[in-house]
Structure formats: structure tokens, C-alpha cells
Amino acid sequence: MLTRRRFVTTALAAPFLARPAMADGEPIKLRTLYHRQAISDFAKASEGERLAIEGYMAPPLKAESKFFVLTRRPMAVCPFCETEAEWPSDIVAVYTKRIVDVVPYNAKIVTSGVLELTPYKDPETGFVSLVRLMDASIA
């Protein structure tokens, strides 16, 4: 039976039980997946779910690839290819079903895919990722 007290309690608790990044359909920021250089509790709770994440496409590791790296800030140079540059620690590897159309490094994009958090070594590039979006699309 729905009493006045139960209704008020449920209504007050609902905003705290909902996951804010997913509830309103807004893409999350890449930093939401990390906490002090480690995987965040939000990311762990979201593993296996389809997320929309905003960020920047790093210069591709190879031409005509189905894989790219999403970063939280624009990167003009591919750190994987340049010895002086380093990958930031808060990145997401993104795997798509189709060959990726390269987006200018300074254009913000939203990528949607299924979050995976296990170590994976890309067989074509040798790139090792701990955080990935699989079956991804770009908006």
C-alpha cells in the first residue's frame, strides 16, 4: 500500500538512487571514469553498460582503423608515435564496427559504446588499454 510517508520517502530518495550521468541522457565527461589515476567507482558500476562520453579524438595510430583513442583534451600529436610525448593517464580506447572517419584533433565529439574495464592488447597496433568502449559510434 502506498502511504503518504512511503511516497515522500521514495520521491526524496529517487534523485540519489539515479545515476545522474545516465538519467538525463547527457554524455559524461571522460574524467568521470577516473579517480586519482585509477578507475572510478562510477566506471566499475557502469561496466557492461552503453555510455556516451565526450572528448577529443587523438590522432589515429594507423590509417583506416576501427580504433581510436578518446582524450579529455585536444592532442595535436600522436603520443604513441612520438617519443617526446606521453599519453595522458585518463583515456578511453574506442572500437567501432566500421573504419573511423578521422575528426580534427580539436573538435569535441561524443562517443557511445559498451564500457569494458579489463586489460586488452590490440592485435594490430599493440596498444594496451584498461578502459574501452566497444561497438562504439561517434556523434
Task: Note the pLDDT tens digit of each residue in 74-125.
Answer: 987 766 666 555 667 788 999 999 999 889 989 999 999 999 999 999 888 8
**What is the distance between the alpha carbons of residues 69 and 87, in angstroms, rounded to a whole number?**
10
- The model's pTM is 0.76
- With respect to residue 70, please indicate whether it lies within any of the assigned structural domains: yes
pLDDT at 14 over 80: no
Tell me the per-residue pLDDT of 43-59, one tens digit each, with 9 for 90 and over.
999 999 999 999 999 88
How many structural domains are present in the chain? 1
User: pLDDT value at position 86?
Assistant: 62
Structural domain contains residue 14: no
Q: What is the CATH number of the domain that holds 62?
A: 2.40.50.870
DSSP 113: E
